[in-house]
Amino acid sequence: MITVIEARKNYGDFAALNDVTLDIPAGSLTALLGPSGSGKSTLLRSIAGLEQLDGGRIVIGGRDVTGVSPQKRGIGFVFQHYAAFKHMTVRDNVAFGLTIRKRPKAEIARKVDDLLEIVGLGGFQHRYPAQLSGGQRQRMALARALAVDPEVLLLDEPFGALDAKVRADLRQWLRRLHDEVHVTTVLVTHDQEEALDVADRIAVLNKGRIEQVGDPVTLYDRPANDFVMSFLGSVARLGGQLVRPHDIALDRSRERAQAQDARVGGSPGVVEAVVERVVRLGFEVRIDLRTDAGVRFAAQVTRAEADALGLVEGETVFARATTAPDAAEIEPALAI
Ligand SMILES: Nc1ncnc2c1ncn2[C@@H]1O[C@H](COP(=O)(O)OP(=O)(O)OP(=O)(O)O)[C@@H](O)[C@H]1O
């Protein structure tokens, strides 16, 4: 368990961390999610001891480490750009932390081989970092961080420099790795999809403060405020309320839309709009809409729903929310 208690960090007049209090359960994979400049890296680096707090405390596994040096905190750290030792083989890079701790050679060899298997670099012991892909290098970095049996693994945008496909593969892989080794892991990311996909807990940061902490489903379905809702997925503003695009139903008939809408308590009402574009995104279809007042929003429906609706550009439709903030238990009514 990591506990951050009323952490404050200032850069001049600027408060990068503003009384942050956070519990990170032992064995969890927790994401620190927020926009650029929200304080994610500052919080991670403070947990690591790479930044000194101006106020507050950090407790790791029951030990107050606030004044303790990074080397003595029992952490492994992986950065976005991993600085590998270029002149050392993959095996020696991963062994580094064990070698400087003067562990017996046989133990090092066994452990490094095991770790390289776990991170999927079994056949790469004798390669040099320059002979690895970006994704392989980051996996080597993770193996190196894990080699010294850290109590806590801290990852600062570890896949940030890689392309989208490799990122998606690596986060699946990280999830499986975490299920296997169970080390308490904190992952900094600005990518909501990455956080929702990989983490079992997410702390959303904004301007040096924590907006909400919870599991991905709770944050997505029950965001504490508009910031969390907007940051965790796309939203549309419908009649003054924020609504997820896939929680919008469209109908050609105003009367039918109104009748269905009456079943959703506290809904923003029925909004008339013109179809600007119909965009097919594989299984889903996005319908870009514009109201008379010029407000643009999008609805997302399945391909079957889109086909049934048969909407064409320029046509007028009636949009309504299928869920309202306090009515999540009401069955979403059929779109048509
Ligand atoms: N050494 C520093 N000196 C002055 N200001 C800093 C320093 N480090 C960070 N900051 C400021 O503190 C704020 C938080 O920075 P931090 O790196 O924690 O944000 P972040 O959420 O990790 O953002 P990003 O996703 O862009 O890395 C930013 O506004 C940044 O400019």
CA of 51 to the centre of ligand 1 (A): 12
* Residue type for position 5: I
CA of 206 to the centre of ligand 1 (A): 12
Check whether residue 36 and residue 62 sit in a common domain.
Answer: yes
- Residue 214 CA: distances (Å) to CA of 37, 100, 222, 236, 324: 21, 39, 10, 23, 21
Question: Binning pLDDT at 50, 70 and 90, where does residue 324 land?
Answer: low
Helix (H, G, I), strand (E, B) or coil at 188: strand
Nearest atom within ligand 1 for CA of residue 38 = 21
Structure tokens belonging to residue 74: 């029992």
Taking the C-alpha atoms of residue 252 and residue 225, their distance in angstroms, rounded to an integer, is: 32
Single out the residue in 229, 261, 284 at which a domain terminates. Answer: 229
User: Is residue 9 lining ligand 1, measured as CB closer than 6 Å?
Assistant: no
CA of 236 to the centre of ligand 1 (A): 30
Of 41, 50, 206, the one to substitute when testing ligand 1's pocket (max ligand atoms within 8 A of C-beta) is 41
Residue 328 forms part of a structural domain = no
With a threshold of 0.85, tell me whether the complex ipTM lies above it: yes
Q: What is the pLDDT of residue 267?
A: 75
CATH code at 177? 3.40.50.300
Residue 329 forms part of a structural domain = no
Encode pLDDT of 168-204 as tens digits: 888 888 898 898 888 999 999 999 989 999 999 999 9
User: Is residue 34 lining ligand 1, measured as CB closer than 6 Å?
Assistant: yes
Taking the C-alpha atoms of residue 319 and residue 276, their distance in angstroms, rounded to an integer, is: 14
* Overall number of domains in the chain: 2
User: Is residue 39 lining ligand 1, measured as CB closer than 6 Å?
Assistant: yes
In the beta sheet, which residues pair with residue 203? 32, 213
Residue 18 forms part of a structural domain = yes
Single out the residue in 229, 254, 278 at which a domain terminates. Answer: 229
Of 14, 43, 231, the one to substitute when testing ligand 1's pocket (max ligand atoms within 8 A of C-beta) is 14
Please answer whether residues 303 and 280 qualify as being in contact, where contact means their C-beta atoms are separated by less than 8 angstroms: yes
Please answer whether residues 210 and 22 qualify as being in contact, where contact means their C-beta atoms are separated by less than 8 angstroms: yes
CA of 316 to the centre of ligand 1 (A): 46
User: Is residue 32 lining ligand 1, measured as CB closer than 6 Å?
Assistant: no
Taking the C-alpha atoms of residue 258 and residue 271, their distance in angstroms, rounded to an integer, is: 10
Q: What is the pLDDT of residue 32?
A: 97
Of 10, 40, 44, 81, the one to substitute when testing ligand 1's pocket (max ligand atoms within 8 A of C-beta) is 40
Residue 331 forms part of a structural domain = no
Nearest atom within ligand 1 for CA of residue 208 = 14
Single out the residue in 229, 253, 286 at which a domain terminates. Answer: 229
Check whether residue 53 and residue 189 sit in a common domain.
Answer: yes
CA of 78 to the centre of ligand 1 (A): 17
Residue 252 forms part of a structural domain = yes
Q: Which letter, b or e, does each residue of 188-212 get, where b requires 16 or more Cβ atoms within 10 Å of its Cβ?
A: bbbbbebbbbbbebbbbbbebebbb
- Which strands form 248-251's sheet, in the order they lie side by side? 248-251, 316-321, 271-281, 284-290, 296-302
Helix (H), strand (E) at residue 117: helix 105-118
CA of 28 to the centre of ligand 1 (A): 25
Nearest CA to ligand 1 atom 26: 36
User: Is residue 85 lining ligand 1, measured as CB closer than 6 Å?
Assistant: no
Residue 265 forms part of a structural domain = yes
Domain assignment of residue 159, given as a range? 2-229
Q: pTM of the predicted model, to two decimals?
A: 0.84
Nearest atom within ligand 1 for CA of residue 205 = 21
Q: Which residue reads 């004798």 in tokens?
A: 126
Q: At what angle do helices 134-147 and 90-100 cross, to 10 degrees?
A: 20
Of 4, 10, 11, the one to substitute when testing ligand 1's pocket (max ligand atoms within 8 A of C-beta) is 11
Nearest atom within ligand 1 for CA of residue 9 = 12
Structure tokens belonging to residue 20: 């942050």
Question: Binning pLDDT at 50, 70 and 90, where does residue 129 land?
Answer: very high
Look at residue 166 and tell me whether its pLDDT is greater than 90. no
Please answer whether residues 184 and 27 qualify as being in contact, where contact means their C-beta atoms are separated by less than 8 angstroms: yes
Q: What is the pLDDT of residue 261?
A: 84
- Count CB atoms within 10 A of the CB of residue 258: 14
Q: Which letter, b or e, does each residue of 305-317 get, where b requires 16 or more Cβ atoms within 10 Å of its Cβ?
A: bbeebebeeeeeb
CATH code at 284? 2.40.50.100
Encode pLDDT of 204-253 as tens digits: 999 999 999 999 999 988 899 999 999 998 888 887 788 889 999 999 99
